[in-house]
Structures are given as C-alpha cells and as structure tokens.
Amino acid sequence: MIDINIYNSASAIVQDRNLTSQQKARLLREYMELKSQREQEEASERMSAPKVPPKAEPAVPKKPETEKFVVVEPSAVHVKKEQKLVSINEVTAEIIELNRQISDEFNAFEDDNTYTIVENYCLDNPNIGGREMAVYAMLARHCHMPKRTCKVSLVRLSEKLGWKRDTINKALDNLTKFGLIERGERDNGGAYTYTLTHRHRSKKKEKKAA
C-alpha cells in the first residue's frame, strides 16, 4: 500500500506519473479525508484553548477625522478562504475525472476466455481459511499451467486483493506452514519466488494388459 503522508498536496498526487488512475483516485480520497480530519482537530483545539481576556488599554483622545476616500481591499483571511474553495473545487474535478477514467477501464474489460485451476487440496484443507485460499488462488493465477512456480511481489498481491501487506504475509506464512507453498528468495524488484507444492499434476494412465 502507498503511504499518503509522502504527499504534501493533492496536485502532487495527480502529477505523480508512477500511479495508476485507481491509485490516484484512492489517494485523493484519503488525502481529502485526512485533511478534513486535521482541520477538525485544529478547530477543536482552538475551541478548547482557554480564552485570555484582552488587556485594558489607556484611553487615547480621538483626533478630529478629516474626510478622505478609502480603497477597501480584501483581507488576508478572505483571500485565503477564497483560494481554499478554489483548490477544493479543482481537486473535486480531478476526482470526478479519475473516476470516469476508472469506469471506462472497467467497461473496456473483456473476457479473454482463460481460467485458473485451484486444487481441491487447498479448497478443502481444514487448516486454512478464506484469506489463505484467496492468496493461493492469486499465486496459481501467476503460475501458468503446467508450471508450479511463479514470481510475484507483495505490492501486486496487496493491490489485487485490496488487503494490507501484513495480512498478505500472514496468509503466506500459513500456506507455508501447512505445506501448500514454498517461498524462495527475493529478487531485486521485490518479488518472491513461490512454488505450489500441490499444483495440479496429470495422472499417469495405466497401460491395459494385452
């Protein structure tokens, strides 16, 4: 999962070319929620802070006012508030556009008539649960038949399943513990080599006696 704290503004998320449109939309939502939460915390702190009564100042005799023209300029508070509203509107427009792109990508998804085999030994195993089965199925998805090994990173598994890396790691540890997979070394790109020990094997046909 990508840490939202590394971005200091919404525009930084939008301009990051290393992110997909789904990641940008998710990060923008998280950024706006985090920003709103921080603003609420700051407001509550200001409300709870003890109020100090203003010091009494000595009376100063008023000078006679002369008639003059004054040009009223917007205060810094008004300018800041106005800029904030514009910024939020721009971010909202970016989120709408990203959601539209994501929707177009999903609508463009087509069935390529392929499938993944998951062994009953995994599905019927009483030692594992649904998360382990889902992680095993993703590993099987990357092991193109008749291969029993594949290379996949925790980041990839986390993005596909929508879980944290700790959750993925626990499922992998259980699969390794009960002998469904073997985890090899990690390469420079962060991907591990996994071996599915009970990968589907074609049964040898017995020769009929003549």
pLDDT in tens, 56-111: 666 666 666 555 545 555 555 554 444 444 466 666 777 787 777 777 666 666 77
CA atoms of 38 and 27, how far apart (whole Å): 16
Q: Which of 28-42, 138-152, 169-183 has the lowest mean pLDDT?
A: 28-42
Looking at mean pLDDT, say which of 58-67, 149-158, 199-208 comes out highest. Answer: 149-158
- Is pLDDT of 120 > 80? yes
Average pLDDT taken over every residue of the chain: 77
Question: What would the mean pLDDT of 27-36 be, rounded to a whole number?
Answer: 79
- Is pLDDT of 174 > 70? yes
Contact 34, 4 (CB under 8 A): yes
CA atoms of 185 and 118, how far apart (whole Å): 24
- Is pLDDT of 45 > 90? no
Q: Write down the pLDDT at residue 95.
A: 79
Instruction: Output phi, psi for 99, to 5 deg.
Output: -65, -35
CB-count burial class (<10 Å; 0-12, 13-18, 19+) for 3 = exposed
- Is pLDDT of 194 > 50? yes
Q: Write down the pLDDT at residue 86.
A: 47
Residue, of 170 and 48, whose pLDDT is higher: 170
* Residues 6+ positions from 172 with CB-CB distance below 8 Å: 135, 181, 183
Q: Write down the pLDDT at residue 59.
A: 66
Find out whether the peptide bond into 58 is cis, omega within 30 degrees of 0.
no
Would you list the domain boundaries of the chain?
1-42+78-110, 120-196
CA atoms of 143 and 117, how far apart (whole Å): 10
Q: Write down the pLDDT at residue 115.
A: 84
Q: Write down the pLDDT at residue 84.
A: 47
Q: Write down the pLDDT at residue 25.
A: 78
- Topology of the domain covering 120-196: Arc Repressor Mutant, subunit A (1.10.10)
Q: Report DSSP state, residue 178.
A: T
